[in-house]
Chains A and B, each alone.
Chain A
Amino acid sequence: MKEVFVRVDRCLGCHSCQIACAVEHSASKKLFGAILESPGPRYRLFIEKADGLNIPLTCRHCDPAPCAEACVAGSITRDARGAVVQNENRCIGCWTCVMVCPYGVVGRKQDRKVAVKCDRCQDREVPACVGACPTKALLFAEPDEFGAAVRKSRAGVLVGTLLG
Chain B
Amino acid sequence: MERTTDGSSTAVLNAAGREAVETVWDRFEKQSPQCGFGELGTCCRNCLQGPCRIDPFGGGATQGACGATADTIVARNLARSIAAGTAAHSGHAKHLVHALLKWAEGKAPDYPVKDEAKLKAVATRVGIPIDGKTTQTLAKELAEKALADFSEKETPVTWAATNVTAGRVETFLKYGLVPTGIDSVVSEVMHRTHYGVDADPVNLLLGGVKCALADYAGCHMGTDLADILFGTPKPVVSRMNLGVLKDDAVNIALHGHNPVLSDVIAQMAKDLNGEATDAGAKGGINLVGVCCTGNEVLMRHGIPSATHSVSQEVALLTGAVDAMVVDYQCIMPSLQTVAECYHTRIITTMPIAKISGATHMEFNEENARETAKSIVRMGIEAFKKRDPNKVSIPKNALNALAGFSTEAIVEALAKVNAEDPLKPLIDNIVNGNIQGVCLFAGCNNVRVPQDQNFIAMAKSLAAQNVLLLATGCAAGAFGRHGLLTSEATNQYAGDGLKAVLTAVGEAAGLGGPLPLVLHMGSCVDNSRAADLAVAVANKLGVDVNKLPVVASAPEATTEKAIAIGTWAVAAGLPTHVGVVPPVLGGALVAKVLTEDVKDLLGGYFIVETDPESSAAKLMDAIRERRKGLGL
User: Could you list which residues of chain A lie within 8 angstroms of chain B, going by C-beta atoms?
Assistant: 14-16, 18-20, 22-23, 31-32, 34-35, 40-43, 107, 110, 131-132, 134
Whether B59 and A20, one on each chain, are in contact in the complex, defined by CB atoms closer than 8 angstroms, is: no
**A39: min CB distance to chain B, Å:** 9
Whether A35 and B585, one on each chain, are in contact in the complex, defined by CB atoms closer than 8 angstroms, is: yes
Whether A19 and B58, one on each chain, are in contact in the complex, defined by CB atoms closer than 8 angstroms, is: no
What are the 8 closest A-B residue pairs judged by CB atoms, nearest first? A19-B36, A22-B57, A35-B56, A132-B33, A40-B57, A31-B36, A32-B584, A40-B58
Whether A110 and B58, one on each chain, are in contact in the complex, defined by CB atoms closer than 8 angstroms, is: yes
B35 contact set on A, CB distance < 8 A: 14, 16, 134
Classify chain B: how many residues form its interface, as a range: 10 to 19
8 contacts between A and B (CB under 8 A): A15-B36, A15-B53, A16-B36, A19-B37, A35-B584, A43-B57, A107-B59, A134-B33
Q: Is B387 an interface residue (CB 8 A)?
A: no
- Closest A residue to B33 using CB positions: A132
B585 contact set on A, CB distance < 8 A: 35
B37 contact set on A, CB distance < 8 A: 14-15, 19
A43–B36 alpha-carbon span in the complex (Å): 13
Known contacts A16-B33, A19-B36, A132-B33: A42-B57 contact under CB 8 Å: yes
Whether A20 and B53, one on each chain, are in contact in the complex, defined by CB atoms closer than 8 angstroms, is: no
B39 contact set on A, CB distance < 8 A: 31-32
A134–B34 alpha-carbon span in the complex (Å): 8
Q: Is B507 an interface residue (CB 8 A)?
A: no
A14 contact set on B, CB distance < 8 A: 35, 37
**A21: min CB distance to chain B, Å:** 9
**B50: min CB distance to chain A, Å:** 13
Known contacts A31-B39, A35-B40, A35-B585: A41-B57 contact under CB 8 Å: yes
A87–B580 alpha-carbon span in the complex (Å): 36
A2–B36 alpha-carbon span in the complex (Å): 26
Known contacts A35-B40, A132-B33: A19-B56 contact under CB 8 Å: yes
- Closest A residue to B31 using CB positions: A134
User: Could you list which residues of chain B lie within 8 angstroms of chain A, going by C-beta atoms?
Assistant: 33, 35-37, 39-40, 53, 55-60, 580, 584-585
A23 contact set on B, CB distance < 8 A: 36
B584 contact set on A, CB distance < 8 A: 32, 35
Given contacts A15-B55, A16-B35, A18-B57, 4 further A-B contacts (CB under 8 A): A18-B60, A22-B56, A31-B56, A35-B40
- Closest A residue to B57 using CB positions: A22
**B10: min CB distance to chain A, Å:** 28
B40 contact set on A, CB distance < 8 A: 31, 35
- Closest A residue to B607 using CB positions: A32
**A152: min CB distance to chain B, Å:** 26
Q: When the two chains form the complex, which single residue of B33, B36, B58 contacts A131, counting CB atoms closer than 8 Å?
A: B33
A132–B33 alpha-carbon span in the complex (Å): 6
- Closest B residue to A16 using CB positions: B35
Whether B56 and A20, one on each chain, are in contact in the complex, defined by CB atoms closer than 8 angstroms, is: no
A32–B587 alpha-carbon span in the complex (Å): 11
**A32: min CB distance to chain B, Å:** 6
A37–B37 alpha-carbon span in the complex (Å): 17
- Closest B residue to A35 using CB positions: B56
B57 contact set on A, CB distance < 8 A: 18-19, 22, 34-35, 40-43
- Closest A residue to B30 using CB positions: A134
A107–B60 alpha-carbon span in the complex (Å): 13
A16 contact set on B, CB distance < 8 A: 33, 35-36
B60 contact set on A, CB distance < 8 A: 15, 18
A153–B489 alpha-carbon span in the complex (Å): 66
**B580: min CB distance to chain A, Å:** 6
- Closest B residue to A19 using CB positions: B36
B59 contact set on A, CB distance < 8 A: 18, 42-43, 107
A32–B40 alpha-carbon span in the complex (Å): 8
A32 contact set on B, CB distance < 8 A: 39, 580, 584
- Closest B residue to A47 using CB positions: B60
A35–B57 alpha-carbon span in the complex (Å): 7
A107 contact set on B, CB distance < 8 A: 59
